[in-house]
Structure 1
Amino acid sequence: MIEKMKFLSITGPKSDFDRVVNIYLNKYDIHLENALSELSAVHDLKPFVEINPYKDLLLKSEDLVKQIKVHKPSKEFSMTPSQASEIINHTLEMLKDLDQQMKDLKEQQSHYTDLVNQIEPFRHFDYDINKILNLKFIKFRFGKISHEFFNKFSRYVYDNLNSLFFECDSDRDYVWGIYFVPAAHSVKIDAIYASLHFERIILSDEYEGTPEQAYRKVLAKRNEISHKLSAVSKNIQDILNQRADELLTAHSTLITYNNNFDLRKLAACTKEGKKQVFYILCGWITQKDADLIIKDTETDPNINIIIEEGQESETTKPPTKLKNKKVFKPFEMFVKMYGLPAYNEIDPTSFVAITYSLIFGIMFGDAGQGLLLALGGALLYKYKKMAIAAIISMAGVFSIVFGFLYGSIFGFEDLIEPIWLSPMHNVMTVLLTSVGFGVALIMIAMILNIINGIKERRISKVLFDTNGVSGLVFYIAAITCVALLMTGRTLPATILLIIFFGIPLLLIFFREPLERFIEKKAHFFPEHKGMFFVESFFELFEVLLSYVTNTISFLRIGAFALSHAAIMGVVMLLAGVETGDPNIIVIILGNLFVAAMEGLIVGIQVLRLEFYEMFSRFYKGTGKEFKPYKNK
């Protein structure tokens, strides 16, 4: 069912906005709407515009809270925004010097890391770097060259070049090394190396000793910086841990007030007199919460609440909040997949729960495999709280029931006597029964459509719709005639046939002009009459065809009941049951495979019947979900 909604308007002084949101909107389920659009008929309304004072401070508090290992304060206590701001700013001031030390140390660490990475490839070059840097008549170049060009260089260029190349290291992509060249020939030699894509590396003058010695000294300095970083980080962590409860509470307070501030986008403001400014919030609340909030605010002088009946109009559309019994609630998932019911629509959840489980049981009637589905779904729902698991469990229960009706347990058809019938021995009975069951469901869907039309106060939908009274009368007459023909009885008199066939079809054919006539429109007949008759004729033909196809579609219920028995017959044949020495492993694996595969296929087919053969007749699913601010 759909919970009854009330339209709620909350007003009070603008300065009291945050208090009201914290106390009442975070206590009751209220679906808020944009006040400016909902109250468009009210004059002198303006947007609630202010600069958010919590946004920047919230970002700072997030940085602090991320460094705290615990996620909840050890004790709960309330805090005002000013107190939260003071705690955050005071903590940041305490950490200011330590943060600067961290920044400086990280810069030094990064610098030494660059020095380590720069000198590391040249560690095998056993010569003092300072001496190389002071050479006068010989030029040197540190760098790297790709393997492709290094091979070409070694084969074709190096022997004829007035240069000495010292290979230091190599990896998958490059060869690292140093080349020396006489100063007089450096320009020419540098150009040759550049043409071979030699990438030069300028070493820093901070290195001392050989590359290996320089590498170790720089590495030691970097490790020393890392130890200092760890010490500063520990000091910061100690301060944050000491103030963890206060910081976490302050952060939570800022989140609340920041969210409350965003709520101003949905509010409107109005003036009373010259100075006093009032806010207006409006939205939807359930009947139960409406009574509670009225009682709760009776003694609050700074808040005024007006409750109105929730009625759907052109500008106002109440949200939908489903409320079903626990056994039906998992099936809300299927309803939401199709679309939530509009506020004035019937909630089809209980209808889906009963028909889905029933049809699944008819199509998948096996007491043993049904037990597996029921137990597996129940356990999965208990530990994972998955709605689909509860649906599987419910479907499994009905499979057990029809398994006993069919006399089928784990594919064995002769262990127990069928209470009703055995599908494989009563094929026509199963198929005709499934069609008859489908006819009953289609009629129920039509009746539900008529009820929806009454709730919407649309007479044309009730009387002239293909799924309204006209369609229902025609369908019942058609089914009655088919039943009489199949049983060899005579048809009703011609006058009755004209009444029950002709009049409903004419009403459906002229639905549009009749609807205009009822609504008292000036031109109830379309301007292009020829086009109207052509379109109406083909639409009526499509309607008649849909009655036939929808009815025949329910044959799949019986067909799947037969196919299950046939598939399990194949499993028994493969297991050698007829020989008297069955293979237990084949039987177990076959049952598990059929339960999983056919259970999935049947589940999808039943859902198709629900959506296309039944929902399409009475249900639109155009509702909007009830989303209380409290849950945000």
Structure 2
Amino acid sequence: MNMAIEKMQKFNLITFYNNQDAVMEQLQDFQQVELFSASQFNKQANAFFSQMQEHPEADKIEDQIGNVTWARDFLTPYVEKPSMIQALRKPLRHYTLRQLSEHAHTFDWKNIYSDLRKQDKRLRAIEQEKQDLSLQEDELNKWQYFDEHPAVLATFKETIGVLGTVPNTEINQLKKEMGKEQLQNAYLEIIHQSSTTSYLLLLFLRENQEEVQTTLSDAGFQEYEYPYEDKPAEALRQVKEKLHQLVEEERSIKARLKAQKNNYKDLGLVAEYLDSLFVRVHSNQYLLQSEYTMDLSGWVPARQTEELDRQIRQVVGKDYFLEFAEVKEEEYSNTPVLLKNHKLIKPFEALVEMYSLPQYWEIDPTPFMMPFYALAFGLMVADFGYGLLLFVASALAKYFLHFKEGMKQNINMFQICAVPTMMWGLVYGNIFGKQFSFQLLSTDSDITEILVMSMIFGFIQIMFGLGLKFYLLWRRESEKLKALLQAGSWMLFLVSAAMIAAGMLLVPETNLQSVGIACLIISLVLVVIGGSLDGNTIIGKIGSSLYSVMDITNYLSDLISYTRLMALGVAGGSIGAAFNLILSYLPTPAKFTIGIVLFIVLHGLNIFLSYLSAYVHGIRLQYLEFFNKFYTGGGRAFKPFKSNESYVQVVSEQKQQQGEE
């Protein structure tokens, strides 16, 4: 069995067709199988079975999902939601498929959906009416001081009365024209004036109509047709009253929507149930059927085979045939990968998944990466106070708050990394940028020693990666020579380089340097030979050999990359010390007032930057300097046949019973 990767088996189940719904629901509740087309398990099955047709309820269920989703989305802006902290303080609620089904069949969500549609339609109508009334209000505001009904203007016999507008730039000229002798009986009154337009009442004799209209036309006059029955002021009052009524109605509707907090939550449960139901009916694409039976296949972890048999027997009795098959080597590339690690290592699986899951035939790099990543993380922060703060904050967060599994594992990872951070903080003698009286290594005077230590750390991890490569190649019967020449040769090269450095710097009076040079030459010869194994032709073998020698620069650059462990650790400590120095210049009263605030803010900034740098550069070292020595990746994640958990956490009945116990 592959290290830290669940061993998988294929299974094939044949049972009566009328058991389909019960079996699929049981498998979905089990949450430990991944389905694939049953025709892939046994090619001869096509002689007895045919592809199952689309489930007749699929379209109906999809429409229902759309309706429930719309209802939740519609309520989202109105329903008051708890703050992030309030939400995290509440324990996570877990539901089984049976509980979701019972809720969906007892909760009258269809009537709620219908009512919400009506409310939505009314709100849209209110919004349109408000816009129309707002335009009317704006229009009437300009004529409200005309204290007569405009219809009276049409009753004059000898006189013509009109309402209209002219640009402000023309008003003075219009007054001047209207004041001429031939128009001396005309009357002009400005009812309202905005920044650009004047709103006018004009009265003039019918016998002067032609002259007046020419004058008005020259001034850009636009006649206004009054559309209301009442006087402008009264019409304005009525419009405002209607607007007020609409606002009150809208407020009342939104208040009722805001009060539907429980319905919002219950709709989420219904949506989860329908989503799980759609997953089940959509699984018909994997199933085969005959006149009386159905055939389905999938992947299951080997340790769950007996439990799978029990789950099937629980719903169909003895009316089934269940067969298991080992995974063949040619099927490795398509076999799903499910990692399994100790609880201290599991939080680091997310880092591997960010890069790529291992292929089924590989080893899981998580347990090998975890100690190096944690130590490197601590070395790049290297402050006892920062590490203690992270450890305590993580512990308090897990104790008082309730996180989903993914976030909880991330918090666990940072809490684990806090331990080596405190350890290296003690080595450097740093606590919140202040140095202890005792120090194993000083970031001020022992820079060279810290640099050498970082390089040694990198040397060990690279050698470890090559050791894993040697192991992976050696365990294949046909790859043992490659293990010696492509992994062993580089291990000898690095050891030889270390011997030469030690002979030059530590024990120059010995023959260690000469021995190292001889071993280095032998390793390079082996590297060239090992490189030729990848070529298929003479020219290809020569090219591969020369190219393999160029990896010398890669290994040297890999070692140099580990100097960032020293650089970031020293930089973070120096920045923290600089902040403390700045605060030391404050007067004594200020140190205990604004000084405390500055201490928290400045060190908070340094903590954030230190942890961010350690997180990112720690990942970089694993991906580029460690993984490329032995790790291929490209595996496919195990996707269990279960609910998508878009709204709530769904657990199997067995797990819920275990939790209750």
The total of aligned residue pairs comes to 593
Q: Does 1:433 align with 2:453?
A: yes
From 10, 22, 29, the equivalent of 2:25 is 22
Q: Is the 8 A contact 2:465 2:626 kept in 1?
A: yes
Structure 1 residues 374 and 225, CA gap change in structure 2 (3 angstroms):
closer
The range that moved more, 560-569 or 150-159, is 560-569
Q: Is the 8 A contact 1:28 1:293 kept in 2?
A: no
Give the residue type in structure 2 aligned to 1:405.
Answer: V
Q: Does 1:5 align with 2:8?
A: yes
From 528, 546, 553, the equivalent of 1:505 is 528
1:572-616 per-position Cα deviation (integer Å, ceiling 9, x unaligned): 665669xxxx97859956765654444443443333222221122
Secondary structure, in 3 states, of the residue corresponding to 1:447? helix
Matches of 1:169 and 1:33, distance apart in 2: 77
Q: Taking CA–CA contacts closer than 8 Å with sequence separation of 6 or more, which of the two structures ends up with the larger relative contact order?
A: 2
Structure 1 residues 563 and 248, CA gap change in structure 2 (3 angstroms):
closer
Q: Is the 8 A contact 1:166 1:178 kept in 2?
A: yes
Secondary structure, in 3 states, of the residue corresponding to 2:313? coil
Structure 1 vs Structure 2 CA RMSD: 5.2
Aligned to 1:319: 336
Residue 346 of structure 1 and its aligned partner are, at CA, apart by 2.1
Residue 184 of structure 1 and its aligned partner are, at CA, apart by 5.2
Matches of 1:15 and 1:398, distance apart in 2: 59
Structure 1 residues 376 and 80, CA gap change in structure 2 (3 angstroms):
closer
Residue 172 of structure 1 and its aligned partner are, at CA, apart by 7.0
Residue 127 of structure 1 and its aligned partner are, at CA, apart by 1.5
Aligned to 1:267: 286
Matches of 1:608 and 1:294, distance apart in 2: 44
The range that moved more, 338-347 or 112-121, is 112-121
Matches of 1:576 and 1:475, distance apart in 2: 48
Aligned to 1:550: 558
Matches of 1:355 and 1:371, distance apart in 2: 20
Structure 1 residues 11 and 426, CA gap change in structure 2 (3 angstroms):
same
The range that moved more, 348-357 or 224-233, is 224-233
Secondary structure, in 3 states, of the residue corresponding to 2:361? coil
Matches of 2:391 and 2:266, distance apart in 1: 50
From 615, 623, 642, the equivalent of 1:611 is 623
1:285-317 per-position Cα deviation (integer Å, ceiling 9, x unaligned): 333443222112125446654433345646852
Structure-to-structure mapping, 1:468-547, within 5 angstroms: 468-486=487-505, 487-488=507-508, 489-490=510-511, 491-492=514-515, 499-508=522-531, 510-513=532-535, 524-525=536-537, 529=539, 533=542, 535-536=543-544, 538-547=546-555
Matches of 1:428 and 1:307, distance apart in 2: 60
Secondary structure, in 3 states, of the residue corresponding to 1:606? helix
Q: Is the 8 A contact 2:7 2:301 kept in 1?
A: yes
TM-score, L = length of structure 2: 0.71
Secondary structure, in 3 states, of the residue corresponding to 1:298? helix
The range that moved more, 601-610 or 153-162, is 153-162
Q: Is the 8 A contact 1:8 1:283 kept in 2?
A: yes
Matches of 2:633 and 2:625, distance apart in 1: 15
Residue 280 of structure 1 and its aligned partner are, at CA, apart by 4.6
From 404, 418, 426, the equivalent of 1:404 is 426
Residue 128 of structure 1 and its aligned partner are, at CA, apart by 0.9
Residue 564 of structure 1 and its aligned partner are, at CA, apart by 5.5
Aligned to 2:640: 628
Residue 543 of structure 1 and its aligned partner are, at CA, apart by 0.6
Q: Is the 8 A contact 2:38 2:288 kept in 1?
A: no
Structure 1 residues 223 and 76, CA gap change in structure 2 (3 angstroms):
farther
Secondary structure, in 3 states, of the residue corresponding to 1:610? helix
Q: Does 1:154 align with 2:174?
A: no
Aligned to 1:519: none
Structure 1 residues 158 and 319, CA gap change in structure 2 (3 angstroms):
farther
Q: Is the 8 A contact 1:320 1:340 kept in 2?
A: yes
Q: Is the 8 A contact 1:409 1:415 kept in 2?
A: no
Structure 1 residues 583 and 279, CA gap change in structure 2 (3 angstroms):
same
From 125, 129, 134, the equivalent of 2:146 is 125
1:107-132 per-position Cα deviation (integer Å, ceiling 9, x unaligned): 98887677556545432222214334
Q: Is the 8 A contact 2:14 2:322 kept in 1?
A: yes
Give the residue type in structure 1 aligned to 2:310.
Answer: K
Q: Is the 8 A contact 1:367 1:408 kept in 2?
A: yes
Secondary structure, in 3 states, of the residue corresponding to 2:466? helix
Structure-to-structure mapping, 1:72-87, within 5 angstroms: 78=101
Matches of 1:202 and 1:341, distance apart in 2: 78
TM-score, L = length of structure 1: 0.73
Structure-to-structure mapping, 1:260-339, within 5 angstroms: 260-264=280-284, 266-270=285-289, 272=290, 275-276=291-292, 279-301=294-316, 304-311=321-328, 313=330, 317-339=334-356
User: How many percent of aligned residue pairs carry the same amino acid?
Assistant: 19
Structure 1 residues 140 and 254, CA gap change in structure 2 (3 angstroms):
farther
Q: Is the 8 A contact 2:386 2:432 kept in 1?
A: yes
Structure 1 residues 549 and 233, CA gap change in structure 2 (3 angstroms):
closer
Structure-to-structure mapping, 1:31-70, within 5 angstroms: 31-33=34-36, 43=46, 45-46=50-51, 48-49=53-54, 50=56, 52-60=59-67
Matches of 1:565 and 1:236, distance apart in 2: 54
Secondary structure, in 3 states, of the residue corresponding to 1:284? strand
Unaligned runs of 5+ in 1: 514-523
Structure-to-structure mapping, 1:361-372, within 5 angstroms: 361-372=378-389
Q: Is the 8 A contact 2:174 2:215 kept in 1?
A: no
Q: Is the 8 A contact 2:30 2:311 kept in 1?
A: no
